Amino acid sequence: MYDPNRFIESDPAIRRVAAGEPTVWINPDYLPVEVTDGLCQLVVPDSAIDDAEARLARFASFIRRRFPETEPTNGLIESPLADIPRMQQALEKEYGCTIPGRLMLKMDSHLAIAGSVKARGGIYEVLKHAEDLAIAAGKLTMEDDYARLDSEEMRDFFRQYTVQVGSTGNLGMSIGIMSAALGFRVKVHMSADAKQWKKDLLRSHGVEVLEYSGDYSKAVAEGRALSDTDPMSYFVDDEKSVDLFLGYAVAARRLKKQLDEQGIAVDEAHPLIVYLPTGVGGAPGGVTYGLKRLFKNNVHCFLVEPTLCPSVLLGMATKQYEKANVRDFGLSGRTHADGLACASPSSFVTRVLGNLASGDFTVTDAKLYDYLRLLDSSEGKRIEPSSCAAFVGPCQLLTLEDSRRYCAEQGLTEEALANSVQIAWATGGRLVPAEVWEQYLATHLD
């Protein structure tokens, strides 16, 4: 066991984090891509991201047929990139901050099928597993039209197998809905933070939902143990999975295409700054990795976590990785940001992001609801509280001393920032039921 007090005493950022203050941690090991390039290729080569992208393309005809909502994107699960100038103004006015450049919203909150960023990684991993099984059994070749997976014969084949996952909610929904659509049996192990409506929705898809009184790590551990006793069962391991990570990494190429289509350049004079709500680290980790591969030093990726549960920040800042637990620092881990309530971070992601993430902002629960209302009133868009964490980044970038220093050191001059695009990555919301929106909109915390 490490000694949390040693870190609290020696690192001012960790001291503020342990005191529950909203703050920023700037990554002292952040390095230019020229230095990290070779290492990245060893960990997850670009060819693995190519492969993931090609796999999603192979499944597009199946997805389009099974989920007609993906018709407009030809079976690709992709979200809009929207300008939010009124939100930008509203934030500046409300908080007296300056947000330079063009503020945009990457609306993974509205991704098809799962209504959250988990539609990238979670669905990708299920598809990969299904493809592996079907090819090994001689029931599919990569040259086939995958629409044929939408048949009684294939569902009967997949029904012999079980997919299991531990989740705070959204991962379970993406794995559950896609696994059930293919025919798999599915068990989702839900932590105590998981919302009732998410459990109800999953059960309506025929998914078996198991509930635990403990936190997320507990649900994962129980699920993993149960799955390991069954040779026909596959466990999606959010704390370690490289396949999940690859599914998320594909987002970067899709974003580049959208930026190109909108005539938005990303280069030294036009930097891209991205803010990613972070739970265990998988989704923001994969997206960050993909973005760094493409945009190199011209993209700056900041993670965002609740002040009550900054596990990835602590895992990286202390270099204790998955061993770090927010409770060791006197934080409860109990946050209204249910999608971010992971008390310990991913072992894989905290290591992979070691030299790539620029830093990590923390946000109070109260702010999540304030941002939620502000986005609703200014832009008429609704994203769930966890997602709203992203907005603390653009508000604080030039407000907090450490992030101001980061900008100065990284060549993010006033002029470069004025030409920048800042993206708040919205990670969930589309499936939230109407009565839950009313609760969210009416929630005011101190």
Ligand X SMILES: *Cc1c(COP(=O)(O)O)cnc(C)c1O
Which residues make Cβ contacts (< 8 Å) with residue 210, sequence separation at least 6? 187, 188, 189, 190, 222, 223
Least CB distance from residue 153 to ligand X, whole Å?
34
Q: Which is nearer to ligand X, 300 or 430 (CB)?
A: 430
Q: Which is nearer to ligand X, 49 or 194 (CB)?
A: 194
What long-range pairs does 317-320 form, CB within 8 A, spacing at least 24?
A: 317/7, 317/11, 317/13, 317/14, 317/17, 317/25, 318/2, 318/4, 318/7, 318/14, 320/2
Are the beta carbons of 119 and 112 closer than 8 angstroms?
Answer: yes
Q: Identify which range of 16-24, 64-72, 335-343, 403-411 contacts ligand X by CB under 6 A.
A: 335-343
Least CB distance from residue 116 to ligand X, whole Å?
5
Q: Which is nearer to ligand X, 360 or 384 (CB)?
A: 384
Paired tokens of 24: 């920023």
Least CB distance from residue 134 to ligand X, whole Å?
27
Q: Which is nearer to ligand X, 350 or 420 (CB)?
A: 350
**Near ligand X by CB under 6 A: residue from 84, 149, 154, 280:** 280
CA-based torsion, 169, 175, 177, 179: positive or negative:
negative
- Residue 301: CB atoms within 10 Å: 27
Q: Identify which range of 31-39, 91-99, 253-261, 273-281 contacts ligand X by CB under 6 A.
A: 273-281
Q: Which is nearer to ligand X, 315 or 339 (CB)?
A: 339
Q: Identify which range of 202-210, 276-284, 354-362, 364-372 contacts ligand X by CB under 6 A.
A: 276-284
Would you give the DSSP letter of residue 193?
A: T
Least CB distance from residue 183 to ligand X, whole Å?
25
- Residue 217: CB atoms within 10 Å: 19
Query: Applying CB under 6 A, does 279 fall inside the site for ligand X?
Result: yes
Paired tokens of 137: 């059994």
**Near ligand X by CB under 6 A: residue from 247, 277, 393, 394:** 277
Q: Which is nearer to ligand X, 171 or 220 (CB)?
A: 171
Query: Applying CB under 6 A, does 247 fall inside the site for ligand X?
Result: no
**Near ligand X by CB under 6 A: residue from 183, 282, 333, 359:** 282
Query: Applying CB under 6 A, does 340 fall inside the site for ligand X?
Result: yes
Alpha helices, H only, 301-400: 311-317, 347-352, 365-379, 385-388, 392-396
Paired tokens of 2: 């490490």
The number of residues that bind ligand X (CB under 6 A) is 21
Least CB distance from residue 412 to ligand X, whole Å?
25
**Near ligand X by CB under 6 A: residue from 70, 217, 278, 288:** 278
Under rule CB under 6 A, which residues in 187-216 are in contact with ligand X?
none
Query: Applying CB under 6 A, does 64 fall inside the site for ligand X?
Result: no
Paired tokens of 196: 């009732």
Alpha helices, H only, 96-207: 118-136, 152-158, 170-182, 196-204
Angle CA(202)–CA(204)–CA(205) in degrees, nearest 5? 65
Sheet holding 102-107, edge to edge: 24-26, 359-363, 299-306, 272-277, 421-426, 102-107, 81-83
**Near ligand X by CB under 6 A: residue from 176, 183, 339, 359:** 339
333: alpha, beta or left? (left if phi > 0; alpha if psi -120 to 50): left
Query: Applying CB under 6 A, does 288 fall inside the site for ligand X?
Result: no
Under rule CB under 6 A, which residues in 347-406 are in contact with ligand X?
384, 386-387
Binding mask 66-85 for ligand X (x = CB under 6 A): --------------------
**Near ligand X by CB under 6 A: residue from 284, 333, 393, 394:** 284
Rg from Cα positions in the chain: 21
**Near ligand X by CB under 6 A: residue from 166, 271, 310, 428:** 428
Query: Applying CB under 6 A, does 291 fall inside the site for ligand X?
Result: no
Give the residues across from 188 on adjacent strands: 165, 209
Paired tokens of 298: 């011209």
Length of the chain: 446
Under rule CB under 6 A, which residues in 92-131 are in contact with ligand X?
116-118
Are the beta carbons of 376 and 309 closer than 8 angstroms?
Answer: no
- Residue 151: CB atoms within 10 Å: 11
Q: Identify which range of 139-147, 200-208, 281-289, 293-301 contacts ligand X by CB under 6 A.
A: 281-289
Dihedrals φ, ψ of 394, to 5°?
-60, -30
Query: Applying CB under 6 A, does 324 fall inside the site for ligand X?
Result: no
Would you give the DSSP letter of residue 304?
A: E
Least CB distance from residue 312 to ligand X, whole Å?
7
Residues that bind ligand X (CB under 6 A): 116-118, 170-171, 277-284, 339-340, 342, 384, 386-387, 427-428
